[in-house]
Amino acid sequence: MVRSNDHPPPHVHAAGKGCEARFRLNCPDGPVELWDCNGEWTRAHLGELGEEIAMHLGDCCRIWSEIHG
């Protein structure tokens, strides 16, 4: 998710099951990078999340830009 009241750099949040991670987008071309994680997700799961976000990088960057300019 991209939060409307967030701050640069462009990033997204992934949340669920008591965990939250932030991924830097490095718009417009990536790479998507894990910024930090609060919780106990495994490295494998965080890697899967990063890959999924990377597959939608263009959309994520566009949405960030629409919300934050």
Domain boundaries, the chain: 11-68
Average pLDDT of the residues of the chain: 96
Q: What percent of the chain has pLDDT over 90?
A: 97
- This prediction has a pTM of 0.94
Average the pLDDT over 3-14 and give the result.
96
Average the pLDDT over 17-21 and give the result.
94
Q: How far is CA 26 from CA 18, 22, 61, in A?
A: 26, 12, 9
Residues 18 and 39: beta-carbon distance below 8 Å: yes
Name the residue among 34, 33, 25, 35 with its Cα closest to residue 56: 25
Burial class of residue 59 in the structure, from the number of CB atoms within 10 Å of its CB (0-12 exposed, 13-18 middle, 19+ buried): exposed
